[in-house]
Amino acid sequence: MSHFGRSGPPDIRDTYSLLVLNITFRTSADDLFPLFDRYGKVVDVFIPRDRRTGDSRGFAFVRYKHAEEAQKAIERLDGKVVDGREIMVQFAKYGPNAESIDRGRISFSETKSPRRSRHRDGYYRKGGSRSRSRSRSRSHSPSRSPSRRGRGASYQGKLHDHGRSYRSRSRSLSRSRSRSPMRKRSRSGSQERPRRRSYERKESPDVKRDSGSPKGRSPSLARSPSPAKAGTASPVHKGSSRGGRSPSPVQRTRRSHSRSLEPHSRSRSPHSEN
């Protein structure tokens, strides 16, 4: 999706990609194009969007034809407030096809010396290997904002190979912080609970029968963790089950069957019910 309406990247043989971060979710390529085009020839403007929702992810890619123009745009637009948000402009490091990138320049097999250094740093990736969470809502300290602006000064009036250390810190920081919560969450075992329940409903037909008389069964086994809530939902569920015409339980049972991943391991554990 390019601003020019073409499919895919137009020509990335010798273009310089700029990464624009911290843009508003409502900002589109059309809004960024005139802004960046003032400082040079913009070849393409692309804003990655979510596959599911289709909303902008909050960053965009601007391709310049000349490095000097791209550099100028960075100095001029980095930290600029756009649409009420302070955007951050910097050279893109990861190519669209995992191509080699020199401070924003995309080259296929022309450069080779600087490329080695990046491999050592671990910048290179085959694409799709980077684990990134799509969760937009996450607690974080806003104190990292000012630090970003600080590194911008390194680029001023310099087009040499300066400006790589800033990424190391940022990368390490985000890495350790992003992985820690994710792993812990996965270990919590929030997935086991719904799985086990699905099996219980599937393997135990008596559950459906009990639905007609939940009192005979253990009220604690109700799906509602809150007793107060269970009481409210109880009459509703009871009425539906008694009618015997409610397709709801049937559909849920069938779905659970398809979702069951390891029914055997669960079936062998009688303690699961207690």
Neighbour count for residue 43 (Cβ, 10 Å) = 21
Work out how close the CB of 1 gets to DNA at its nearest, in angstroms, rounded to a whole number.
4
Q: Are strands 85-86 and 16-21 parallel, antiparallel or unpaired?
A: unpaired
Interacting residues with DNA between 29 and 48 (CB under 7 A): 44, 46, 48
User: Among residues 126, 134, 160, 215, which is the contact residue for DNA, using CB under 7 A?
Assistant: 134
Instruction: Report the greatest alpha carbon distance in the chain.
Output: 79
Mask: binding to DNA, 56-95, rule CB under 7 A, as x and -? Answer: -xxx-x-x---------------------x--x-xxxxxx
| Window of 19-27, 202-210, 214-222, 231-239 that interacts with DNA by CB under 7 A | 19-27
**Total number of residues binding DNA (CB under 7 A)?**
52
Q: Determine the 3-state secondary structure of 100 from DSSP.
A: strand
**Beta strands in the chain, from DSSP E residues, in sequence order:** 16-21, 42-46, 60-64, 81-82, 85-86, 88-91, 100-102, 105-107
Work out how close the CB of 21 gets to DNA at its nearest, in angstroms, rounded to a whole number.
4
Which residue has tokens 């609970």?
193
Interacting residues with DNA between 217 and 246 (CB under 7 A): none
Q: Are strands 85-86 and 60-64 parallel, antiparallel or unpaired?
A: unpaired
Neighbour count for residue 241 (Cβ, 10 Å) = 19
Q: Which residues bind DNA (CB under 7 A)?
A: 1-2, 7-9, 12, 17, 19, 21-26, 44, 46, 48, 55, 57-59, 61, 63, 85, 88, 90-96, 101, 106, 127, 130, 132, 134, 136-140, 142, 167, 170-171, 173-175, 177-178
